[in-house]
Structure 1
Amino acid sequence: MNFDFTDDQRHLLDAIEQIIARHLARPLAPTRIECSAELDRDLMQGGYFDAVVTDGLGPVAAAAMVMALARLPFCTELSASALLAPRWGLPRVCAVLEGGRDLPARFLAQAACAVAIEADGVFAAHLAPGDAREIESPWAYPMGVLAAPETLDWQRLDADPAACLDLWRVAIAAEITGCLSASRASVVEHVSDRRQFGRPLGSFQGVQHRLAHSAVTVEGVRWMTLAAALGNVPAAMAAGQAQQAVRQVAYDLHQFMGAMGLTLEYPLHRWTYRAKRLQSELGACERQFQLAAQQIWCA
């Protein structure tokens, strides 16, 4: 696939890289989830989440931006704010409920609004303090549930549920891509420094082969996601490819890190546990491939 970003898209992504570099310089706290109010402020003040509705930028730039920001070890709501909320002027933080209004969702306890993508329409409700509560989970995202979803003032949006789900699939694939890319980079750095039998761990051929395979897998997911954002391939195919990639890539990376990859002092789990949560959304890769096959063969 030949793909070049436009000048406007490159300028946006260059600015995002500057933000990323600034926040990567911050020390990490030994915690499972670390949100960043400073990162949120930088992104909001710069108006970066308007890219999806900005002429010359659009879904491709928004997806690429999510990929880049998901490389950060800090947790912030990206997908809904970048691909969905700006289309309807919804406030950030925005939480998406795609399986039911009573189910847990990422960032719901911190959200200013909730969006429910359902078979008969897309609905949004503005949230006040107490409308949602945080819950414990193994994932490296803050998770929450609505306290009483039936009491909220749900408003139907002028939106096609199928189109919204496709945008959500692109967003999920983009965020997985960023998480896997960053986790792989951290492991490459580790095996380059860690010595075993008098030589760097990364010099062993078996390690090199599996890391090379993971690099090809992640790069393939990246291009598939951009192609889906452009409308060249089904979004379900990109989401399925990304979700499927999590299984083997995350497994290999944790194998090379050993127990250190699960410690709070090392950030690998921040990316892989986020990717594992995204891996299960929208019915996981099996459902995505089934939908993609139906779209291709029944078209």
Structure 2
Amino acid sequence: MNYELNDDQRALLDAVEQVVQHHLARTPAPVRVECLPELDRDLEQGGYFEAFHTEGLGPVAAAAMVIALARLPFCTELGASALLAPRLGLPRVCAVLGEDRAAPARFLAQAACAVAIEADGVFLAHLKAGDAREVESLWAYPMGELIAPEDLRWQRLDADPNECLNLWRVAIAAEIAGCLSAAMVSVVQHVSDRRQFGRPLGSLQAVQHRLAQSAVLVEGVRWFALAAASGAVPAALALGQAQQAVRPVAYDLHQFMGAMGLTLEHPLHRWTYRARRLQSELGACEHQFQIAARKAWAV
């Protein structure tokens, strides 16, 4: 696929890269989940989440921005803010639910609103203090749940649930792409520095082959997410490919990190745990491939 960003989209990503590098310079603390209010402030004040509706940028730039920002070892709500909230006119932070409104969701305890994308419509509830609570989780995201979802005032939005699901699929695929990309970079650096048998671990051909296979998967996920945002490839196929890549890539990256990859000292666990959480959203890869097949061969 020959796909190039336009000048405006490249300029946006250059600005995003400056934000990324600024916050990467901050030494990660040895914790599983770390949210940065400063990062949220910079993104809000910079108007980055307005790319979706900006002429010359659009959903492709929004997805590319999510990929770039998901490379950070810090947490912030990206996908819904970049792709779904602009389409629906929602405030940040936005938590996205499925058919089960009582199920735990990412960023729900910090959210200003909750959106439930269901088969018969899209529903919105504005949240106030006490409507949601944090829940403990192994995932490297802040997780929460609604305390009494049936008591909230749910408003039906004038939105197509299929369109919203497609945008949400692109958002999840983009976050997975960013997480796996950052994880890959960290491991390549490790095997370049780590020496075994008198030479860098990364110089061993078996290690190079497996890292090359992972790199192909990660790059494919990135291109699928961008293409799906432009309408060139079904969003379900992009998400299915992203979710399918998580397991083999994460497995190999942790293998090459050894015990260091299981400690809080190294940030690898943050990216791979997030990717693992996203791996199961919206029914996982098999469900996404079934949806893509039905769309492609619908009678």
The answer as to whether partners of 1:99 and 1:282 remain within 8 angstroms in 2 is no
Which secondary structure does the structure 1 equivalent of 2:3 belong to?
coil
Which secondary structure does the structure 2 equivalent of 1:76 belong to?
coil
- AA aligned to 1:208 is Q
Q: Show the counterpart of 1:28.
A: 28
Q: Within 5 A, what are the aligned runs for 1:99-138?
A: 99-138=99-138
Q: Within 5 A, what are the aligned runs for 1:1-299?
A: 1-298=1-298
**TM-score, normalised on structure 2?**
0.99
CA distance in 1, matches of 2:289, 2:89: 32
Which secondary structure does the structure 1 equivalent of 2:81 belong to?
helix
The answer as to whether partners of 1:140 and 1:274 remain within 8 angstroms in 2 is yes
CA distance in 2, matches of 1:189, 1:87: 39
- AA aligned to 1:4 is E
Deviation at 1:89, TM superposition (A): 2.0
Which secondary structure does the structure 1 equivalent of 2:222 belong to?
helix
RMSD (CA atoms) = 0.7
CA distance in 1, matches of 2:128, 2:246: 35
- AA aligned to 1:57 is L
* Unpaired stretches in structure 1, ≥5 consecutive residues: none
* Unpaired stretches in structure 2, ≥5 consecutive residues: none
- AA aligned to 2:63 is A
Q: After the TM superposition, which of the residue ranges 141-150 and 49-58 deviates more from structure 2?
A: 49-58
CA distance in 2, matches of 1:88, 1:214: 36
The answer as to whether partners of 1:81 and 1:92 remain within 8 angstroms in 2 is yes
CA distance in 2, matches of 1:99, 1:248: 29
Deviation at 1:88, TM superposition (A): 2.4
Q: After the TM superposition, which of the residue ranges 274-283 and 150-159 deviates more from structure 2?
A: 150-159
CA distance in 2, matches of 1:212, 1:22: 29
Which secondary structure does the structure 2 equivalent of 1:84 belong to?
helix
CA distance in 2, matches of 1:88, 1:290: 27
Deviation at 1:54, TM superposition (A): 1.4
Which secondary structure does the structure 2 equivalent of 1:259 belong to?
helix
Which secondary structure does the structure 1 equivalent of 2:253 belong to?
helix
Deviation at 1:168, TM superposition (A): 0.4
**TM-score, normalised on structure 1?**
0.99
- AA aligned to 1:293 is A
Identity of aligned residues (%): 78
CA distance in 2, matches of 1:241, 1:10: 25
The alignment covers a number of residue pairs equal to: 299
